[in-house]
Amino acid sequence: MTETQTRLLMNRQRFEDMHVDSTPAPSAKDGEVVLALDRFSLTVNNVTYAAFGEALRYWDFFPTGIDGQGLLPVWGYANVVDSEVEGIEVGQRYFGYFPSATHLVVKPGKTGARSFRDESAHRADLPEVYNWYQRSDNDPFQSEAAESLHAIFRPLFVTAFGLSDFLADENFFGAKQVVISSASSRTGYSEAFSLRMQSEDIELIGLTSAGHRDFVEGLGLYSKVLAYDDLEQLDPDRPTVYVDVAGNTEVQRRVHQHFGEQLVHDAALGAAHTHEPPQPDEDLPGARPVFFFAPVWVARRQKEWGPEEFNRRVGEAVAAFFQHVMKHRLIEIREQQGFEAAREVLTEMLDGRTDPAIGHVIRLKAD
C-alpha cells in the first residue's frame, strides 16, 4: 500500500477553485476495508453533485475535515489494498461511489459474494443506493472497455430509467410529448432512450444548442430536435412534460410561458448549464417544477419489485442501452492520468466547454 493518499479538493461554494493535496494513507482497523481508486469517470453528473451538494448532502458522503472544502463524489472502480473483514480480500475489485481521492475507508456491513454495503456511521442516514459496492473482478461480462462505459453511463442511466418508469407509471400525466433540455448530454439522451423503451407513442422533443443539433439528430432517439432559440415553434396546445436536464432557469421560464397550463409536469433532472441548484420561479404558469431524486425511486421500486427483480429490470435496460451506444458509436473514451487531468476536465465542464461525444475517464494507477 502506498504511504500517502492524494485528494482533489473542491471549494464547496466556488467549484472552479480546486487543488490537489496529500495526506498519510489510511490503514484498515478491525471491521474496515481500504479501497484504492483506480479508474473513474467525469460527467456532467459530477457537476450536478457539486451544484446540489449542500441541498442533497452529496458533500456529506466523504467528509474532508477541512472547512469549506469537499471531495467530489465520482463513480468508478477500486481495488482492495487492506482488509480486516472476513470474506473481503486484498486484490478484489469493486464498482461504486467514491471520493475524488486515491483511498477510501469503508466499514462493510451486509456482505455477499458480489457486493457489500458501507455502514460507516457518517453515511447511515444518507441514501442507501450510494452505499453499496459491487464486486467486478468475478463478473464475466466486465472488461476494460466495459468498465469505462459502466463508470460513465450506469449512474446516469439508472436515474434516467427511474424517471421514465415514474412518468410511465403516471401515464405521462396525460401528456402527448416530452421535451428534454440539454438533449446532447448523456443524461439527456439516456432519458430519451429510456422513455422510448417505455412508450413508442410518446413524442420526444430534444432541445439543444445550435452547435450540437447535428449530433443530437444523429442519435436517432428524438422525434424532433430544436435549438433553444426555436422552442416557441412547438405547438403550445399539446399537453407536455418537460424534463429539465439543463437546469437553465431562462429556458425553463420560456418553456412554462410557452405551454402554460398545457405543461402538465416539470421534472428537474440535473444542472448541466449551471453551477447552482435551480431556483424555480413560484409564479411560473403550468406545473410546478419537481426535482426527481433517483434514490427515492430506487428504494420504492426495490421494495415493490424486490431486489432481484429490480436488478434484472435495470440490468436488461442498461445492457440494451450499451448496445445502442456501441452500435451507433455515440462516445469516444478519452483516458487521462491523475488528479491534475481530472481538475482540467472538471474546469472544462464547469465552463461548458465539453464535447458530448467524448467520455472522460481518469486513471490513478499506472499500468
Shared domain check, 133 and 223:
no
At residue 205, the 3 state secondary structure works out as strand
pLDDT in tens, 320-350: 999 999 888 889 999 999 999 999 999 999 9
Report d(CA 106, CA 33) in Å as an integer: 5
Shared domain check, 336 and 255:
no
Domain count, the chain: 2
CATH of the domain at 339: 3.90.180.10
Shared domain check, 172 and 80:
no
Shared domain check, 255 and 132:
no
Of the candidates 241, 276, 295, which is a domain's last residue?
295
Spatial CB neighbours of 352, under 8 Å, sequence gap ≥ 6 = 273
Residue 39 has which C-alpha cell?
479508474
Shared domain check, 184 and 125:
no
In this prediction, residue 1 carries a pLDDT of 46
Considering the domain boundaries, does residue 317 fall inside one?
no
CA atoms lying within 13 Å on the CB side of residue 294: 21
Average pLDDT for residues 39-59, to the nearest whole number? 92
Average pLDDT for residues 133-156, to the nearest whole number? 82
Q: Which residues pair with 20 in a beta bridge?
A: 8
In this prediction, residue 226 carries a pLDDT of 98
Considering the domain boundaries, does residue 305 fall inside one?
no
Considering the domain boundaries, does residue 315 fall inside one?
no
Shared domain check, 132 and 75:
yes
Q: Binning pLDDT at 50, 70 and 90, where does residue 367 land? A: very low
Considering the domain boundaries, does residue 48 fall inside one?
yes
In this prediction, residue 269 carries a pLDDT of 84
Residue 141 confidence (pLDDT) above 80: no
Residue 113 confidence (pLDDT) above 60: yes
Considering the domain boundaries, does residue 247 fall inside one?
yes
Task: Report the share of the chain in percent with pLDDT over 90.
Answer: 74
The strand ranges marked E within 4-73 are: 4-11, 18-24, 33-42, 69-71
Of the candidates 242, 275, 295, which is a domain's last residue?
295
Residue 271 confidence (pLDDT) above 70: no
In this prediction, residue 278 carries a pLDDT of 54
CA angle 209, 212, 217 (to 5 degrees): 115
Report d(CA 365, CA 4) in Å as an integer: 14
Average pLDDT for residues 65-85, to the nearest whole number? 97
Shared domain check, 212 and 183:
yes
Shared domain check, 98 and 227:
no
CATH of the domain at 174: 3.40.50.720
In this prediction, residue 232 carries a pLDDT of 97
Shared domain check, 175 and 62:
no
Shared domain check, 265 and 162:
yes
Shared domain check, 62 and 175:
no
Burial (CB count <10 Å: 0-12, 13-18, 19+), residue 304:
exposed
Considering the domain boundaries, does residue 316 fall inside one?
no
In this prediction, residue 44 carries a pLDDT of 83
Shared domain check, 91 and 128:
yes
Considering the domain boundaries, does residue 111 fall inside one?
yes
Residue 111 confidence (pLDDT) above 90: no
Would the CA dihedral through 73, 79, 82, 84 be positive or negative?
A: positive
Q: Binning pLDDT at 50, 70 and 90, where does residue 281 land? A: low
In this prediction, residue 279 carries a pLDDT of 57
Of the candidates 270, 295, 320, which is a domain's last residue?
295
Considering the domain boundaries, does residue 310 fall inside one?
no
Residue 273 confidence (pLDDT) above 70: no
Structural domain including 85 reads 4-142+331-363
Average pLDDT for residues 119-124, to the nearest whole number? 96
